Structure formats: C-alpha cells, structure tokens
Amino acid sequence: MSKTSSEQPWLTLHSDAKSAQVTAPCVLTGAPLTADELSQVAGLISLPKAQRASLSQRSLADFYSKAKPPELLTQPCIVGVLRHKAGVMLFEPAVGAELDFSTSLKRGHEESEEAEQLNGDPTELSHGDQLTFRFDGRPLTLRVELELEQEGEVLAERPIDEVERYADKLLDGAEGSAVASERLRLLFKHSQSLGQSADLDATLKAATALVFDLVPRATHVAIALREERSQSGETGTAKASRYPVVSSILRAGGELDRPMSATLIKRVTSERKALLLMDAAAELSGARSVLAAGLSSVMIVPLWVGADICGVLQVDNRDKPSMFGSEDLELLMVGVSTVSFALESTRLISRLRVAEEQLKGGLEYLQDPERREASGLIGESAGMNAITQSIGRVKDLKVPVFIKGETGTGKELIARALHYQSMRRDKLFVAQNCGALPEGILESELFGHVRGAFTGADRDKKGLFELADGGTVFLDEIGEMPHALQAKLLRVLQEGEIWPLGAPRPKRVDVRVLSATHRDLDEMVQEGSFRQDLYYRLHVYPIHLPPLRERGEDVALLARFFLKRYAEEFGRGVSGFSDEALRALARYSWPGNVRELQNEVQRALISRFEGDLILIEDLSQHISGLEASGPDVVFEALNVQGTLKEMMEHLERALLARALDENGQNKSQTARVLGITREGLHKKLNRLGVGEES
C-alpha cells in the first residue's frame, strides 16, 4: 500500500464489499453531514481549532455493495469519531439516547475470539483490529489496516530471566575495574533512595536519576506502567492491559510529551526480552510512533516482578545513532530489576491507601440511614415502568446518564438504582451536590489535591473520582458547577483522567458519571453559563423523572412505604391509612414531590397518639382540606429556632397541653390516652413547665 500524500495520520477500513482510506480526525456517519453540521460537530467533540478545518467524514453506507444499508445509515447521524493523539489512532463510538446501534471491537493480535463491547470511551486501534457495528441486528464488520510497523533487525536482545548472570558479570568485573566499581556504588546509592520512597512520583524521579547515572549517554528516559481495565464481551468480562506513559524526562530538564512505540512495548512484554536498537527510526521505519518520537538510539527493557510484567522502561539518545552497546543493555537490566520492585511496591502501597479510603468512605455512606434503602424503585405507574426499562437498557453501558426532574422527585434514588443494578455494584457509589460547596473546595472534593497545593493542604487527599474508581459518581445540581470546573469534568468524560490540585500529572480513573439538575441546561447553554460540549457529553442518555402529581397510584404505594419505615423507627403501632386519608393524599398536587410526601407521613405519625390508622385529621390542613380545629403543633415545632433538644421539648410541651385540653385537664384520663402512667405524666409536666390549672 502506498502512503497517502497527506501529512495527516491515516488508516484503511475494509468491509467484505469495499475498502476506503480515511484521514484522522474523521467522523463516521450515516448519510453525509453538511459543511455547517460538520463544523458544529468539530466544536461538540472539542477538536482543537487548528484541526477543525481538517475534520473529514466517511459514510458507513459506502461500505455496502449490493445490500441495502440499514435505515439508520440513510439518515444524517454520527456513528463514531476517529482521532490521532500522541502517536496512536483512537476510535470513539457514539452512543445515542435511542441506543439503536452498538459497536464492538475484536483485537487482531489477541488469540481470544471474544469481542469487546465498546461503551463510548476512546479506544486505541491497532493493525488488524475488527470493528463491528450492529444496526437493528444487522452487523457491519470493518477491518482496520494501519501503516505497517516493520520491526527490522535488533542489534542485541537479552532475556530478563538471565539478569542474575549479568549481575554476577558486573560483580566479577568490579574487582579490577574502577568503572565497574563506580557502577556498583551508583546501584547501591540509588537502591537506598528507591527503597525509602513510598510515593509514586518520588520513585519515578529516583528511577530516572538512576538510569541517567548508569547510562551517561542517555538523553531521555521514559517509563510506562501497566494498567488493567475490564472489557465486556458476549460471555462476560475480561482484563485487557495497556501501558500508558507515566514519566518522560529529558536529561537537560523538563518533560517530553512523546509516545512510546506500541511496537516495541508489544515485543518486549510478550517475549520478556530487553532490546537494543542502534537506529530506531531506520529499523522501525513503518512505526509512526517511533518516527514521531524522533528516536535515534534506544534501549527498551520490561519492568518485572517475578513472572509478572508491570511496565516498560525506555532509554534513548535523540542526537546520534550507535550510542549504546550490549554492555549498556545488560547494566540497564540490572538497574531495572531494582526499579521494578520499587515501582510495584509503591503502586501496591498506593492501591492499599485508596482501598482503605474507599472502605472508610463506603462505611460512612452505608451508615447514613437515608442511603440504606434498597436500590429497588417504588412505583407501578406508566412513568415509573418506563424508567425501569430505561435503567435496564443502560445500566451496564459506561455512558453518562442525565436525570431530569423537579426538586424532590428522587433523582439520587434513580442514580443509586442505576449503580446497584449494574456490574459496578461492588464498587463505591458517591454523590456530590455541586451547589453545596464553594468552587475551590468543590474542586478538591471531586479531584483531590496533593500536599502543599494550597494553604492548609498538609497531606494528599483522594478526590471522589479517585475513591470511586471502578464505581459511579453522581453529580447532583450539575447546573451549579462553576464554569472553570466544567472543563475539568469534560476531561474526565473525554480522557478518563483527573488532575488533582497541585499534581504534576493526571491520573486515570474508570468512573461512570451520572448527573442531575432541576435547572434548564438548554437555556444555560444559550446564555453561555454552561459549556455546550459538556452538555452534549452529559446528555448522552437522558432519563426524565415525572413529578409525583403525574404518578397516580404511586402516591399510595410511597405513602405506605414511608409509613412502614418511620413507624418502625418511631416505635408507633400505626399500620396504614384510612380511606379518607388516602383519597386526600391522592387529590393533593405535591409541589414538593416525593420529599414533601415523606415529610408529611413523618408529621402525621408524630401527631397520631393512638389507633393503628392515619386519619384524615392527622394530615396537614392544606392536604386534608379540613378546617383547623387548633394550631398545628408539629408545624410550629418544625419552625422553632434552636437545638434539636429545644425543638423536641417544644413539641412535647404542646402535645401534652393539647392532650390535657382534650381530656378536660383530667390527668388520669390523659395518661391513659397517652399510654403512660399518671406518675410519668406528672414528671413530664413538671420537667417541661406545663401549667397545672384544673
């Protein structure tokens, strides 16, 4: 295949019928978009302004020959986006609210026949991968052909299993060589530094310093650490490994944002060998990432602990070829054996700390009585049945869900139902009201901070996104999020990364984001107070929660649920509602929705002294429609300013006074009605200072 004359990154997609070469960035569509629509898409996917003019499109209908394309592909729509970033080709599938198509990926280099279901996250493409789109059950499979990555001849390779032999060789040479003795001294010196660090950034810094000292002609050191992520397929979930670069340092100072060759990583990790290339750009002439990195001389060594490969370390000289020899490679392997153990130990300590904080946060969350409720939803109305179906469709897809509804409708309950019915149920669910905290505190709460990031930051703090890694974050009142934080949230949704305050680099997280608000985000987008690109990212799958006044028979179901819950909590023997009370509850419009109904049931229970039913007169006057026979003592108590003890004493004093009035100031009769002894009544009257007029 001849290379395209364009300087843009490119690939070829093959179906059984046709092939087409596309350049990135590219939008895969149904029917072609107009120029204005394509320009709008460029803004919505946050494409840098310098790349927007180069955004191309390719209709998937082009890949059908005689067969008629599915109906969806005859309409203007977006199926996915191809991007090129940091030397790799990425595909980001679209996931529409209608969910009328799905996308899966079969890795060309994997022996397993299992395909991974894509859920909206950007996914790296490799040569030979197969993308399968299903439209109404009809599959379209496209094979990916990237520029071939020729490996070429390697000057030296060393199995990592023989590192002890290289260490013995170094020890033997130290007896008569000043150079070898100096190398041993450096290894011992840096080993001490590596062993004393429990912080990943400090360990990476110490590892880089060791390599620069051992290999004086190195101009650059890069380290990539293995990450495992779950991928879902038709037969369940599996683990897939990737190697993101976590450190890339120049000897002259500063960081170098360049990719590490996927070709070299794949080879050294699969063969468990260290490689030495004298002119990487020539020997790997087809590898775009090598060319982009500008490599000249390179050594690349796996990081390993026992049988496990935990990362890759790359050392290169970007000025001249033939700068390293096989002796440098063997020495580097001896040093890397110490680095590997230190890095893996540091990561283990970090994971244990996160797990401890997750456990602590989970226990605190579960101990909140408002959150101990089951994740099952209460309701049999058409609106609630539709919501249950929507949750079933989207619960295991990692797409943002936007929950719309009036205040008090139970948006957090829907979010928790989504989490606890999904495959993420064993991980943490956390909720944050975006309008409850000032901007600076909210940023630290969501994304965390490092020690010294601001005045008073005397230790590192994990943010909610990091604590909920693998789980779900629910952002309530997202419309109240400050504009500056909206950009950081967009990064989480697009890149799967958070950037803690004061941190030198971002951290990857796997989090499902759910959001809700009572505000009109469409209007806020028009006003410019809410980012349009973030709006579309959050609005992938909206769920509308109907107000309680539209849920009909659900009012009685919810009232009985709250009655059972609070009767047990208050120690009352009330087991139901009278028919009149239920009819009054059904007639009322409930402007405060479920929350108002919950509060009303609590209030009615407090008012009911005897009997096993809530009667219509126990309800608030504006709900029952009855004329007030006296002051609403519960309402008065709820409006008393003071401590909880003062409020409860005010309520008890009012209830005792009313009971005495209703029983003609007869203390014996009053005590029997209240279910207490006459002596107990006297003690309460004296303690609360209730008048004893006859």
Gap between the Cα atoms of 416 and 473, Å rounded: 10
Q: What is the pLDDT of residues 149-170, one digit of tens each?
A: 444 457 788 998 888 888 887 7
Q: What is the pLDDT of residue 290?
A: 45
Structural domain includes residue 501: yes
Gap between the Cα atoms of 395 and 3, Å rounded: 43
Ranking 358-362, 433-437, 520-524 by mean pLDDT, the lowest is: 358-362
Its sign, for the CA torsion 610, 611, 614, 616, is: negative
Q: What is the pLDDT of residue 100?
A: 64
Top mean-pLDDT range of 40-44, 485-489, 621-625: 485-489
Structural domain includes residue 358: no
CB proximity list for 287: less than 8 A, separation 6 or greater:
149, 150, 261, 262, 263
C-alpha distances in angstroms, 438 versus 21, 47, 238, 448, 498? 50, 30, 41, 15, 19
Quick one: tokens of 694? 């006859």
Strand ranges for 259-370 from DSSP E: 273-277, 297-305, 308-317
Ranking 238-242, 313-317, 458-462, 477-481 by mean pLDDT, the lowest is: 238-242
Mean pLDDT estimate for the chain: 80
pLDDT exceeds cutoff 80 at 101: no
Q: Residue 458 — φ and ψ, nearest 5°?
A: -90, 0
On whether both 74 and 217 belong to a single domain, the answer is: no
On whether both 102 and 241 belong to a single domain, the answer is: no
Is-contact 387 483, C-beta < 8 A? no
Q: What is the pLDDT of residue 285?
A: 43
Gap between the Cα atoms of 680 and 321, Å rounded: 96
Q: Residue 426 — φ and ψ, nearest 5°?
A: -80, -10
Place of tokens 């094979």: 143
Given 546, 569, 597, the domain boundary residue is 546
Q: Which candidate, 233, 309, 324, 235, places its Cα nearest to that of 275?
A: 324
pLDDT band with cut points at 50, 70 and 90 for residue 694: very low
Q: What is the pLDDT of residue 90?
A: 85
Q: What is the CATH number of the domain that holds 659?
A: 1.10.8.60
Structural domain includes residue 81: yes
On whether both 104 and 173 belong to a single domain, the answer is: no
Structural domain includes residue 557: yes
Given 88, 110, 145, the domain boundary residue is 145
Beta-bridge partner residues of 274: 158
Quick one: tokens of 224? 């990539």
On whether both 602 and 553 belong to a single domain, the answer is: yes
Structural domain includes residue 1: no
pLDDT exceeds cutoff 70 at 288: no
Structural domain includes residue 659: yes
Ranking 21-30, 41-50, 484-493 by mean pLDDT, the lowest is: 41-50
Q: What is the pLDDT of residue 311?
A: 92
On whether both 607 and 490 belong to a single domain, the answer is: no
Gap between the Cα atoms of 674 and 656, Å rounded: 9
On whether both 226 and 342 belong to a single domain, the answer is: yes
The string of DSSP codes covering 175-204 is: TT-HHHHHHHHHHHHHHHHHHH--SHHHHH
Segment holding 488, helix H or strand E: helix 483-495
Top mean-pLDDT range of 60-69, 185-194, 644-653: 60-69
pLDDT exceeds cutoff 90 at 230: no
Question: Looking at the 3D structure of the chain, how many domains does it have?
Answer: 4
Q: What is the mean pLDDT of residues 267-278?
A: 87
pLDDT band with cut points at 50, 70 and 90 for residue 280: low
Strand order in the sheet with 78-85: 56-59, 26-29, 78-85, 88-93, 123-125
On whether both 138 and 202 belong to a single domain, the answer is: no
Q: What is the CATH number of the domain that holds 42?
A: 2.60.200.20
Which domain, by its residues, includes 372?
368-546
Q: What is the pLDDT of residues 442-455, one digit of tens each?
A: 999 999 988 888 88
Gap between the Cα atoms of 196 and 193, Å rounded: 5
Structural domain includes residue 593: yes
Q: What is the pLDDT of residue 79?
A: 87
Q: What is the mean pLDDT of residues 227-231?
A: 61
On whether both 203 and 294 belong to a single domain, the answer is: yes
Vertex 358 angle, CA 352 and 363, to 5°: 130
Gap between the Cα atoms of 317 and 264, Å rounded: 16
Q: What is the mean pLDDT of residues 468-482?
A: 92
pLDDT exceeds cutoff 90 at 533: no
Q: What is the CATH number of the domain that holds 334?
A: 3.30.450.40
pLDDT exceeds cutoff 70 at 177: no
On whether both 119 and 47 belong to a single domain, the answer is: yes
On whether both 299 and 441 belong to a single domain, the answer is: no
Q: What is the pLDDT of residues 5-41, one digit of tens each?
A: 345 677 888 888 888 888 888 999 988 988 888 888 8
On whether both 81 and 140 belong to a single domain, the answer is: yes
pLDDT band with cut points at 50, 70 and 90 for residue 322: low
CB proximity list for 270: less than 8 A, separation 6 or greater:
none
Gap between the Cα atoms of 568 and 403, Å rounded: 31
pLDDT band with cut points at 50, 70 and 90 for residue 377: confident
Q: What is the pLDDT of residue 149?
A: 46
On whether both 393 and 323 belong to a single domain, the answer is: no
Given 145, 173, 201, the domain boundary residue is 145
Structural domain includes residue 246: yes
Q: What is the pLDDT of residue 401?
A: 92
Q: What is the CATH number of the domain that holds 538?
A: 3.40.50.300
Q: What is the pLDDT of residue 639?
A: 53
